[in-house]
Amino acid sequence: MRELNEQGFDLSQASVSRLLSRLDEAGFTASVGRKGRILTPSGRSLADTMLKQDARATGLSTALDVTHIEQLLDLLRARRGIEREIVRVAAKRATAADLDKLEKAWLDHEAMVQESSYRGRVANKFHKVLVRTAHSALFETLSAAILYDALDALDPLLFLITSWNGTVRDAPDEHRLIVEALRARDADTAERIIDEHLSRLIHEVEAFQKNDQEGLFTSLLSLTASM
């Protein structure tokens, strides 16, 4: 009990006893008399699984903590690979209601660009809606866990880079073409456009990387964190 309290677990003796009894009933622990309890084979297997999951979660969190421009490029390349498959599936599965929502996301992005202003994560919202049009639990899980939380945080930075390059107005047009291809159930065209769209963005970030002699990326990352 003392060790638990020292680690910040404010538990009573009765609570600990009930917890241990439940672990015994579940077959994860076994009593060994006055020596206390030991993990059963099932308990060891569960503990190993939990430790591996914690390690994976820690590794994923570290991977998504973007501090260098190369990490941003890796995320964009991963998004390109996943979304090329997503649009092919969406061309078959997307409902009319799905495509109406996707069109609204495109129009919101178009309006933001026309106003020459930045309204939080509008560009990335289109891609989030796009994932849902595929009706795939696997794609949604991959996208949510691997890509979109991290890219949400970087959306303002990408807006600045494309604004400087004079290409910020290209993305809404490309989004429109994706919507049109999906409405036409044209998987090949949708895949080609999403590939060109994200490849252009990757090339712009690569060009920014080559010219970033003063560590501007790090400064912009700090600046856009509050946008």
Residue 31 sits at φ, ψ, to 5 deg, of -75, 140
Q: Give the pLDDT confidence score for residue 69 in this predicted structure.
A: 81
Element (H or E) spanning 38, and its range?
A: strand 37-39
pLDDT one digit per residue (tens) for the chain, 227 residues = 555 555 555 556 776 677 667 677 767 788 877 767 787 887 677 566 555 544 444 443 444 456 678 888 888 898 899 999 999 999 999 999 999 999 999 999 999 888 866 665 778 889 999 999 999 998 988 888 666 666 776 777 788 888 888 898 899 999 999 999 999 999 999 999 999 999 999 999 998 888 875 566 666 666 555 55
Q: How many CB atoms lie within 10 A of CB 203?
A: 11
Q: Which are the contacts of 86, defined by CB distance < 8 A and separation ≥ 6?
A: 130, 131, 133, 134, 136, 139, 143
Q: How far apart are the first and last CA of the chain?
A: 46
Q: Give the pLDDT confidence score for residue 219 in this predicted structure.
A: 65
What is the distance between the alpha carbons of residues 108 and 1, in angstroms, rounded to a whole number? 56
Q: Give the pLDDT confidence score for residue 62 in this predicted structure.
A: 44
Q: Give the pLDDT confidence score for residue 204 in this predicted structure.
A: 93
Note the maximum CA span of the chain.
75
pTM for the whole structure: 0.68
Q: In the chain, which ranges are continuous DSSP H helix?
A: 2-6, 13-26, 41-64, 69-93, 96-114, 122-133, 137-142, 149-165, 170-183, 187-211, 216-224
Task: List the domain boundaries for the chain.
Answer: 12-58, 68-224
Topology at the third CATH level for domain 68-224: Four Helix Bundle (Hemerythrin (Met), subunit A) (1.20.120)
CB-neighbour burial class of residue 64 (10 A; exposed 0-12, middle 13-18, buried 19+): middle
Q: Which two tokens stand for residue 112?
A: 């933001």
Angle at 67 between CA 171 and CA 218, to 5 degrees: 80
What is the distance between the alpha carbons of residues 222 and 227, in angstroms, rounded to a whole number? 10
Q: Give the pLDDT confidence score for residue 170 in this predicted structure.
A: 93
Residue 116 DSSP SS3: coil
